[in-house]
Amino acid sequence: MRIAIVAPPFIAVPPKKYGGTELFVAELARGLQLQKIDVTVYTNGESTIDVPVRWIYPKSEWPLRSEVEATLKGLNHFSWAIKEAIKDADLIHVNSAPGLSFAKFTDIPMVYTVHHAYDAPLAEFYESYPEVSYVTISDFQRSKLSMPDMRTIYHGIDPSLYAVPDAKREYLSFLGRIAPTKGTHLAIEIAKKAGIPLKIAGEVQPINRDYWETQVKPHVDGKFIEYVGEVGLEEKVKFLGNSLAMLFPLQWDEPFGLVMIEAMACGTPVLALPGGSVAEIVKEGVSGHIRNTPAELAECAKNLKIPNQTVRNHMEKFFSVDRMTQDYIRLYSEILQDGVTEAEQIVA
């Protein structure tokens, strides 16, 4: 089985800091290789994943300078990648909409993992490619779409890269883009109501600069509310692992939220507002708590009683890279076996 995984060209695989899709690609590619699957990743030249990598753009570029430039660069990357992949691959797995547009130019089966929240124009675009096998990353996300061939496969990460510390420190954590939809301002509210210090980590993108300046930065005093900037994997593990709980006060319907399972891998419970995939990932009283208001989450923070190992065990059972990899191998095998069966029927 030869699998080509095509990532967007803008962020390295694995990401040095921000990059949910790229983290997924890295975890899946490594998982497939460990299962003796022949896998090649099409990404950019800064990627360091230890599997065969191909690229035409040597450098990452994030954040993107303009939508038009991003679209053209993406199309150029995906058209090249698909052209190269069809020479060797049995199946092509794309992870961004521009790649999907080349499905009609090849008979090689294509899988597309939908990484974004519901978007009506994109949903209509996907329906133009019924021959593609779509993977949604939560049942919530799948419920919004209507393509004929869909299944949910939850993301997974490698537990060995994350450690559960012997003891927690007295602070709450927030990890994610500093943006209204992520609810950074609500994380601050929760921490203040709970009387527990908060450490914030994440990227401030240009589009959210005003939000940072008006709703977050004025509360950052370096003591009770601390901003530590962006964090790589090693820093992230310490940041999440040492915290009492990670706050996830979303203000939109996020389709998955990798940071939730990263926190769980560190034995850190997630305190979340409801919406999107949250109820599928956070098991009440086992890996965290879901409440309707910041005040209720503040009470949860003050009265945490979930053992660290219980949180970690939940993550290992439902959100490990081994489970995710096996789910994708099962999908690839079904698709390729169907193709063989159809070919045999034609010959017969």
Stretches in the chain below the pLDDT threshold 70: 339-348
> Quick one: pLDDT at residue 343?
41
> Quick one: pLDDT at residue 339?
61
> Quick one: pLDDT at residue 317?
97
- Give CA–CA dist 216/298, Å, rounded: 18
> Quick one: pLDDT at residue 18?
76
Q: Is 106 left (phi over 0), alpha (psi -120 to 50) or beta?
A: beta
- Give CA–CA dist 138/151, Å, rounded: 9
Half-sphere exposure of 75 (CA within 13 A, CB side): 7
> Quick one: pLDDT at residue 347?
37
> Quick one: pLDDT at residue 260?
97
> Quick one: pLDDT at residue 41?
98
Locate 316 and state its tokens: 């290992």
